[in-house]
């Protein structure tokens, strides 16, 4: 049995992960800590576990915590990852890894020095559509990849996601990192230049960006675009929209990571929703993290992976400010 803790339920993905653990018989939620005690106590009760008032109490040796899932606000990731590392606990950190290159590197270094693994939560890698697309590209079925068109559009999640002091930005830092991680993993290459148009268009009252379109150059010559906007209305049938069109010298391919769904209309309240079925990428992510804890195998999505994906988002913000493409890596 792998004993995992959840540090903060601030991020909406925390409930996805906790719900996924309920369906994994070899994993249990062995404790919860949250800097919002009321929220933490309610979630601990809901998921049938204990709430702890401090990280130190959570990671006390008698609790046997082996891994921590960090799902706090982006700016607090460093605080929570360092607390787990100091206690000798492996970490699965929500994306983006942090809000600055410096903080991300501090987190990576602290985990290495403590001898614990740092994995970044990119569940898109576990989507069957993404995995098949990555295999096709890596095995050369599509020839040399010339360009990729990606989307990660969705609804504005609201709350602290709209507060740059907690999120580090708006939609661009929220939605860029997922697709960039898949792209760089698929190509085995890094982004060397990024340009972006970023604005607040869908809700002018927001203090952050809600629209962003990026253009990226990979080191092998591939050109990629990404629409990372919160452009879906409240009545959109699902919360996400991740797609990729890949064009190569030997063929084209298109993937939709939300394709496994049933269209559902409910006359009682007039709703129209996409009800998902099939693979649960979140469950696969958690199971892989637990496997690495138990076997000592290296995690498949490292802190460096998180840093490089975040670097593209930070470069995009700099490009939008200057009106010029930004070379990567950032100084």
Helical ranges in the chain per DSSP H: 13-22, 37-46, 55-58, 77-86, 101-114, 128-138, 164-167, 171-187, 281-295, 303-322
pLDDT score at 33? 98
Backbone phi, psi, residue 98, to 5°: -165, -155
pLDDT by residue (tens digit) across 198-232? 999 999 999 999 999 999 999 999 999 999 999 99
Structural domains in the chain, CATH included, are 2-121 (3.40.50.720), 124-280+310-327 (3.30.360.10)
Token couple for 133: 């697309």
pLDDT at residue 268 is higher than 90: no
Q: How confident is the model at residue 155 (pLDDT cuts 50, 70, 90)?
A: very high
pLDDT at residue 43 is higher than 90: yes
pLDDT score at 269? 80
pLDDT at residue 270 is higher than 90: no
Query: Residue with structure tokens 């085995």?
Result: 188
Mean per-residue pLDDT, 307-331: 97
pLDDT score at 255? 97
Q: How confident is the model at residue 240 (pLDDT cuts 50, 70, 90)?
A: confident
pLDDT score at 267? 87
pTM, full prediction: 0.96
pLDDT at residue 303 is higher than 90: yes
Mean per-residue pLDDT, 245-261: 96
In 3D space, the residue among 220, 221, 199 whose CA is nearest the CA of residue 316 turns out to be 199
Residue 73: C-alpha distances to residues 29, 161, 209, 255, 272 (Å): 20, 8, 17, 30, 30
Mean per-residue pLDDT, 239-257: 95
pLDDT score at 185? 98
């Amino acid at each position: 049995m792998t004993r995992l803790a959840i540090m903060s339920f601030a991020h909406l993905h925390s409930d996805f992960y906790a719900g996924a653990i309920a369906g994994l018989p070899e994993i249990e939620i062995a404790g919860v800590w949250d800097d919002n005690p009321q929220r933490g106590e309610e979630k601990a009760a809901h998921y049938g576990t204990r709430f702890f008032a401090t990280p130190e109490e959570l990671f006390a040796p008698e609790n046997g915590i082996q891994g921590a899932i960090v799902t706090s606000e982006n700016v607090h990731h460093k605080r929570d990852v360092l607390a787990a590392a100091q206690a000798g606990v492996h970490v699965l950190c929500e994306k983006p890894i942090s809000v600055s290159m410096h903080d991300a590197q501090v987190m990576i270094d602290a985990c290495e020095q403590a001898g614990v693994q740092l994995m970044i939560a990119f569940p898109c890698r576990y989507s069957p559509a993404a995995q098949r697309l990555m295999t096709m590209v890596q095995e050369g079925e599509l020839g040399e990849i010339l360009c990729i068109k990606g989307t990660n559009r969705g609804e504005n999640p609201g709350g602290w996601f709209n507060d740059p002091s907690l999120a580090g930005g708006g939609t661009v830092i929220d939605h860029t990192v997922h697709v960039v991680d898949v792209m760089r993993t698929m190509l085995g290459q890094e982004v060397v230049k990024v340009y972006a148009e970023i604005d607040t268009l869908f809700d002018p009252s927001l203090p952050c960006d809600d629209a962003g379109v990026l253009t990226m150059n990979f080191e092998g010559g591939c050109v990629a675009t990404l629409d990372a906007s919160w452009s879906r209305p409240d009545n959109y049938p699902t919360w996400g929209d991740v797609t990729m069109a890949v064009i190569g010298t030997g063929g084209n391919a298109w993937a939709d990571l939300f394709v496994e769904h049933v269209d559902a209309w409910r006359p009682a309240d007039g709703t129209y929703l996409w009800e998902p079925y099939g693979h649960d990428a979140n469950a696969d992510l958690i199971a892989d993290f637990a496997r690495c804890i138990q076997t000592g195998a290296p995690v498949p999505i490292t802190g460096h992976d998180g840093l490089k994906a975040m670097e593209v988002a930070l470069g995009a913000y700099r490009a939008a400010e200057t009106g010029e493409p930004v070379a990567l890596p950032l100084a």
